[in-house]
Amino acid sequence: MRGTSSRQEHRRIDFRSRDTDSSQRKRPHRDPSPEYVPARWRDRDQRQRDIQSKDVTVELGALLETHGSPSRIAWQQAPNAGACRAYRRGSAREANVLDQTARHVRDIRYSLDDARACLLALRKVGLAPDVKVYGALVARCVARGEINEALEVLAEMLTFRVVPDARLYNLLVQACDKAGMDDQVQQLYAAMHQAGIARNASICGLHRNKPKEGAEDVRRVTAACLFDHRHRASWLEALACLGEMKKMGVEPDDLIFRGAVLAYPKECLAKDVSQILDELKHAGIPVGIAVLAQLIDMCEQEDQKDRAMELLKEGMRLEPPLFKPELGLGPGGTLISFYSHGVLNGATREFDTTLSNLARTLIRFHYSNKAIGAGTQFDVGMRNARLKSIVAQCMRDMGFFPVTGIKTDGTQNPARLESGQTVLSRCLHYGDLNNALAVLREIMDQGFLPDAAACSKLISACHEHGRTNDSADVCSALIVACAKPERPERLDDALHYFRQMVDLGGYPDAAACKALIHACGSAGRRDDALAVFGKCLAFPLKFKLAFCNAMISMCEQLEWTHEARLAFNGMLGAGVQPNAGTYFSLIAAYQRDGQPKEKVERLISDAVREGHFDPGLGYVVAQSEWETVPILEFSVDAIVAKPVKGAAPRTVPPHLALALFRHHRSHGRIDANTQWIADDTIKAKVAELISG
């Protein structure tokens, strides 16, 4: 519904009464249709700035299928109807009518239907709404949160060849970005690029008359436009932003030049170094330290490592050179300093970012010249986290384990990175066990392992100094790390640490014993598994049942029935009481090996008698009003005597299911009416038994 004020209604009534009083006079009829257009109006499209290409009109016209919504108000009732009639009579100027229409459209007292009627009234008298009128309508739509309506207005503008300005584009970009309409934002940026409008045109136009006062604002907004990661600027857009700044007399800084280089086409990085630098100079981008470092980093990220190395060497050959010939390498060749005075041959406000961009190529340069070894230290400072992360990753790629440096007095040096192997050996040499343990922990947290000699030396050193708990903890951690399936080559090291710990009179924890037993079984080393299991039973460990069950389960899977029986007897002899999991694996092992039925039945009876298995063993009889249905369920919760509440259903081993099936069949509980609850594997095994 259109809301009108009393003033508007009074004006409309007066206008109608005046028309009624003057109805005696016959006025010449003027057809408001487009065919009747004076020459000054007919040439209006020619006077428009016709720089908009057809592709832009088609592309942004496709933002929405419709080009504007029709107004529900007749044009004679529009707020600017009086001005439009005055213009048709020749008593009002075109510019005044357009300005008045823009004010009416911006006026919040009028609805959007009123604003649409204003545009319709202009066209009825032969006037074309200009960018000011359309901009006011777009601002009204954005203020009301009707982004799609604003995009329709933009599409209507381009349809009628009205060129939007930078302020209107930026208003729509901000609104779409806030609403999460990323696709529309990308299309708007593409339209700005094709129309030759820079992203920073609005801020530059705002401070064009006072460039000194607004220089910082212009630089800040331009940098934000160039470093917009979600909507990356193209190369031509970046050049347009630089052109806007230079047009108003504001010189770009290194940050803006780096942002412009980020927009450099990635496919052009394959060109010769001289061609790349010439293109940048031709575009008005001086090849300085920050710019060249940004190019080098782009080449590294695009896997153009040879081009990055050529650019680094070119920076050293320029006159004056941008980089120092030593590139941070110390006199003794054991220290590489990532500081501006050691690498850069000039000053830049972006030295932290510049050093980070140069780090990968600089390290490869020294590594190719054999200037980096296990004893090389990297001085990265304490503030540049990105630089520290890049250097650490480069050290990992070279086979070094990066850790925090250690000073001569034993305190940590957080500004340096060193090879973990070297630092660990140095700490052990000086008897600094605290730092040695910290370095080992830091190395293992990164997923690496030092060599076995240093680890064995650390275990012995801890035991000699009476730190038996630390010795056991180190041994256990090393065994678990070396016994992982993805490290089969380190199994011998794990066995070496285990035997060393036993020789020292200590023992690893139950988790390490379990991991080592499982690793030996996976590698098919039966004797080692039995030897480790026998020694673990003699340790005064808690949770012995964990590695005992692991041993029996592994033997069942590898069809080592004899070893499973030995492990079961061994745990009973050591005073370890079995649980339901123990009987699960042992019964399955007997069934898999084809042991006599009497032995399997004896194990089932023992499990029921000791309270581990439910007497029903998964068999229940469901009663209903019409029938009695026997149900046999092969799941852990249905078989054990004390199921875990809230746990997900777990299936039993297939051979245990066969043993239970044979048990129930021998007791006459299986017939044609029995229903099964089991997974496909167990059903297939049972079907195989039935067919046999």
Q: Count CB neighbours of 335 within 10 A.
A: 16
Helices (H), 22-53: 39-42, 44-47
pLDDT over 90 at 679, yes or no:
no
The mean pLDDT value for 458-474 works out to 92
Residues in CB range of 457: below 8 A, 6 or more apart: 428
pLDDT tens digits for 32-69? 444 434 443 334 443 333 333 333 333 443 443 333 44
Residue 22 CA to its chain's centroid (Å): 74
* Closest alpha carbon to 11 in 75, 78, 74, 73: 78
Full strand arrangement of the beta sheet holding 402-406:
335-337, 377-379, 412-419, 402-406
Q: Give SS3 for 97.
A: helix
* Closest alpha carbon to 129 in 90, 72, 168: 168
Provide long-range contacts, Cβ within 8 A and 24+ apart, for 116-119.
116/68, 116/69, 116/70, 116/71, 116/73, 117/71, 117/73, 117/74, 117/75, 117/77, 117/78, 117/79, 118/78, 118/79, 118/80, 119/71
Range from 8-22, 59-73, 134-148, 660-674 carrying the lowest mean pLDDT: 8-22
Higher pLDDT, 110 or 13: 110
Domain boundaries, the chain: 595-692
First-to-final CA distance of the chain = 83
The mean pLDDT value for 277-290 works out to 91
Q: Count CB neighbours of 423 within 10 A.
A: 28
pTM: 0.66
Handedness of CA 282, 284, 288, 293 (dihedral sign): negative
38 preceded by a cis bond (ω within 30 of 0): no
pLDDT tens digits for 112-132? 888 888 888 888 888 889 889
Q: Give SS3 for 271.
A: coil
Higher pLDDT, 41 or 138: 138
How many angstroms separate the Cα of 173 from the Cα of each of 130, 154, 235, 369? 20, 12, 19, 50
pLDDT over 90 at 411, yes or no:
no
Tell me the C-alpha distance between 287 and 305, whole Å: 20
Pair type for strands 628-633 and 675-677: parallel
pLDDT tens digits for 199-236? 888 888 888 778 888 889 989 988 988 888 777 788 88
The owner of tokens 């120092």 is 324
* Closest alpha carbon to 455 in 485, 416, 482, 483: 482
* Closest alpha carbon to 4 in 77, 98, 69: 77
pLDDT tens digits for 339-384? 988 899 888 888 899 999 999 999 999 999 999 988 899 999 988 8
